[in-house]
Structure formats: structure tokens, C-alpha cells
Amino acid sequence: MKKIISAILALTLAAAPTAALAGGLEEEIDAYPWAETAARYCFDNGILSGDEYGDFNLGGNITRAQMARIFTDAFGLKRSVWSSFNDLKVTDWYYPYALAIQSSMPVKGLAFNGNEYVTREEFAATLVKASGGKAADSFSVTNYSFSDGADVDDAYKNLVETAVSNLYMRGDENALLHPKDLLTRAEACSILYRALNPTEGLTPIFGESEVSMEQAVRWATACGGSELFINAAPLYWHYGEVFGIRPDVMYAQAGKETGYGNYGGAVLPEMNNWAGIKIKDPQGDATEDHETFATPDDGVRAHFNHMCAYVGTDPVGEVHDRYYVVLTTDWAGTVAYVEQLGGKWCPDINYGFHIVKMLGEMKMY
């Protein structure tokens, strides 16, 4: 029988992973390249073990009993002295884990149903509670970001919102969350890995550019960037040094916000607004709801100043009104990575990932 075991202690492993097991994992990872880092982490840390044939069954599903053990060990859940379930037996291998996880289960019935497979929404919501996280006040980010967000059960919604906002739970390339799908072992590894390593693999906003300004100009040109956008590149690299914020990140974001300087929406080129910055009290998304800056230089500096409110560093020169609005949010000054901009700078949780994709394209020039 295949086992999911402790995220902290390899309780059922008597020795180091064998070469046969490692070889089996290598073969399975080929079919799940998106889960490679998480699967290796779970194997190395005893979260995932294979059977005597080296089969890890990354495409197999997770039972509620297995989920209970994962979260009990990973987050140090305390065993309750009483059970609210009528189907538990002291002889069940998962008995102590069911008692430990019961207070973290968003939905509890009379039966625990330990051998029942869990869905993506149940796993994500339970993880948030088990890890000490709080349910979000709304469901706006998930609902905006995923076309099937409305399919999330009401009992899980605000906890799923937390899992999505913390980047634990992610959708597919078609902006689908698949909340009702049964969770696979590969997905369980990925979601838990992100919860235990929340900043691993994310793209820092602070620091030096990973591409040269010349590369950025070639990228902008290849993308059909306007002359205004291409001429702004030196300004981004100048202010990158002034602020200590990566100019390539900011330039890519400006490309996303302005259509590579071609605009075409409510913001007009002559407004020198490179990041869709709004006025203090916008009434909608019309032209007059957005800030206007006197020169391209002022606009680029304002873009960096606006980011300062997100990352928690001091602005430079005169600050626009919307900067102070951002400072009133409970996450002001906490954003350190590009991917964390989603749900904050823009309601779409995938916003930052789109910018990271653009950065990857920029590096090719």
C-alpha cells in the first residue's frame, strides 16, 4: 500500500531513500515536470514514499486519512481528547490523525470517511486552517482570477481565497482552478511545498536587473513597442539604481500596463502614466480616473514611487495621491516578489506571473 507520510519526520522510513526508489521517482517526474521541485522536496523530506517497486503514483489521489497525517505532522497539530466522528475506530491507523485534524476541517459531518478522496478545494481550505492561517474577508481575488471560481463551495470559499492569495493554490494555463477535481499526489506535493516554502522560486523586486538595458530595448522593439516606450528604457535603468528596485521588472510591468507604450485604453500616451496609476478617489476606469504626469521622467519616477508603497521603501521626490492610498492597505510594504503583485496591484492573482513570463522573454534578447 502506498503511503503519504510525515512532512517533518520520516516516521515510516528506517533508512535513507534507496536508489531504486529514487530511480522510480525520476521516471514519474518526466510525466509531471511542473511538480518536479515539489516532488523531489517531498521525497527528500519523507512526505512521499514509494512502494517496494519504486512506484510513487504521482497521478494518484489523496485520501482524507492521508491528508490528516500530512497536516498533523507538518504543522504540529495537537490530538483532541474526543472524537466528533462516529466511524472512527481506535484500531484505524489514522485514528490519532483524524482526532488532530478535526478542528481544522472546514466541513465536518458525523463520519470522517478516511478512505474517501479529497478535492482540491478541501485540501487547500484545510491546509489554511491547519497551518494557522485565517479565512479571507472576501472571495474577490479568486472569483476575478478564475472563470470557475464560482464553483468553489461556500464552506471553502474564504479559505480558498487565502490559499490563492498566498499563492499556495494555482490554476492552469486556461485560468481554471478545478476546485471540485480530486487532488493528485503531485498536486498535494506542490500545494504543501508552497505553504512550507512560501517564497521559494519567486522573483524578487529588489536588486539588480537580470538583463541589460540594450536587451530590454531589443525586446521592446521586437514586441512592437512605441518610440515613447523604447525611449523610456534609460529612465527605468536610471531610477532602478536610485531606488534599488529592479528596472527590468518595472520596465516589463510598464510594457504590460501600456501595451508596450501603445496604450489604446483609458490611459493616453500624453499622460505619461506607465503603470495605470489611478487618482486618489477614482469613480471608475475612465481616462479622468487615472493620474497624469508632466513628463516621461516624472511618470517613470511615479511608477517607482508607487511600487515603494508595495515593497516598503522610501519614495523619491513629490509623491502622487494614490501612493498614500496604497499605504492604508494591510499588505502595504510587504510585497517583496513580483508574483505577489497579483491580487494587490491588480485583482488578477496571475498578474505577477504574466510579468515574470515577460521577463523570461526579455532575457532572450
CATH 1.10.4100 fits 213-362, yes or no: no
Per-residue pLDDT, 25? 74
Per-residue pLDDT, 17? 44
The residue ranges of the chain whose pLDDT is under 50 are 1-21
Place of cell 497525517: 69
Per-residue pLDDT, 57? 84
How many helices, marked H, and strands, marked E, lie in the chain?
14, 2
Place of cell 496604497: 326
| Secondary structure (H, E, C), 263-298 | CCCCCCHHHCCCCCCECCCCCCCCHHHECCCCCHHH
Per-residue pLDDT, 45? 83
Positions of CATH 1.10.530 in the chain = 213-362
Phi, psi of 313 (to 5 degrees): -125, 165
Per-residue pLDDT, 290? 97
Helix, coil or strand: residue 23: helix
CA 158 – CA 143 distance, rounded (Å): 11
H or E, element range at 325 = helix 321-327
H or E, element range at 48 = strand 48-49
Per-residue pLDDT, 50? 65
Grid cell, residue 98, equals 483524524
Per-residue pLDDT, 109? 86
Grid cell, residue 48, equals 512521499
- Give pLDDT tens digits for 35-59: 999 988 888 887 777 655 557 788 9
Per-residue pLDDT, 329? 95
Per-residue pLDDT, 1? 33
Per-residue pLDDT, 272? 97
Q: What is the DSSP string of 114-154?
A: TTSBPBHHHHHHHHHHHTT----S--HHHHHH-TTGGGS-T
H or E, element range at 38 = helix 36-44
